Chain A
Amino acid sequence: MTGKKKNEILHDHNKDGVDRRGFLKCMSWAGTGAFCVMQGGVLKSYSLSEMSKSGSDAMPAGELSFVQISDSHMGFNKPANPDVAGTLQVAVDKINGLAKPPEFILHTGDISHLSKPEQFDTVDQILKSVPSKDVFYVPGEHDVLNDDGKSFLERYGRGSKGAGWYSFDKKGVHFIGLVNVLNLKAGGLGSLGHEQLEWMENDVKHLTHSTPIVVFAHIPLWTVYPEWGWGTDDSAQALAYLKKFGSVTVLNGHIHQTMQKVEGNVTFHTAASTAFPQPQPGKADSPGPLKVPADQLRSVLGITDVNYVQGRQALAVVDSTLA
Chain B
Amino acid sequence: MTKSTFKLTKARLPITGLASLMAAMLLLAGSPGAAANGDQPAPAAAEVKIDNFSFGPVALTVAAGTTVTWTNRDDIPHTVVSTDGAFKSKVLDTDEKFSYKFAKAGTFAYFCSIHPKMTGKVVVR
- The residue from A141, A142, A228 contacting B117, defined by CB atoms under 8 A apart: A228
Q: Is the CB of B114 within 8 A of A286?
A: no
Asked if A145 is an interface residue, CB under 8 A from chain B, the answer is yes
Q: Is the CB of A187 within 8 A of B75?
A: no
Q: Is the CB of B75 within 8 A of A229?
A: no
Asked if B70 is an interface residue, CB under 8 A from chain A, the answer is no
Asked if A1 is an interface residue, CB under 8 A from chain B, the answer is no
CA distance A79 to B115 in the complex (A): 22
Most buried by A among B109, B111, B114: B114
Asked if A189 is an interface residue, CB under 8 A from chain B, the answer is yes
Asked if B67 is an interface residue, CB under 8 A from chain A, the answer is no
Asked if A297 is an interface residue, CB under 8 A from chain B, the answer is no
The interface residues of chain B lying within 8 Å CB-to-CB of A289 are 75-76
CA distance A288 to B77 in the complex (A): 10
Asked if B91 is an interface residue, CB under 8 A from chain A, the answer is yes
Asked if A36 is an interface residue, CB under 8 A from chain B, the answer is no
Q: Is the CB of A285 within 8 A of B113?
A: no
- The residue from A76, A186, A189, A286 contacting B53, defined by CB atoms under 8 A apart: A286
Asked if B107 is an interface residue, CB under 8 A from chain A, the answer is no
Main secondary structure of the interface of A (DSSP, over half): loop
- With an 8 Å Cβ cutoff, the count of chain B residues facing the other chain is 22
Given the known A-B contacts A146-B91, A188-B116, are A288 and B111 also in contact in the complex, defined by CB atoms under 8 Å?
no
Q: Is the CB of B75 within 8 A of A186?
A: no
The interface residues of chain A lying within 8 Å CB-to-CB of B75 are 76, 78-80, 288-289
Q: Is the CB of A286 within 8 A of B52?
A: yes
Main secondary structure of the interface of B (DSSP, over half): loop
CA distance A80 to B79 in the complex (A): 21
Asked if A227 is an interface residue, CB under 8 A from chain B, the answer is yes
The interface residues of chain A lying within 8 Å CB-to-CB of B115 are 141, 229
B residues 72-114 touching A (CB-CB < 8 Å) = 74-77, 79, 83, 90-91, 93-94, 109-111, 113-114
CA distance A228 to B117 in the complex (A): 7
CA distance A285 to B73 in the complex (A): 14
A residues 137-164 touching B (CB-CB < 8 Å) = 141-142, 145-146
Asked if B54 is an interface residue, CB under 8 A from chain A, the answer is yes
Asked if B61 is an interface residue, CB under 8 A from chain A, the answer is no
Residues of B within 8 A of A (CB): 52-54, 74-77, 79, 83, 90-91, 93-94, 109-111, 113-117, 119
User: What 18 new A-B contacts, CB under 8 Å, besides A285-B52, A288-B53?
Assistant: A78-B94, A79-B75, A80-B75, A114-B93, A141-B115, A145-B77, A146-B91, A184-B113, A184-B114, A186-B116, A187-B111, A187-B117, A187-B119, A188-B116, A228-B53, A229-B116, A286-B54, A289-B76
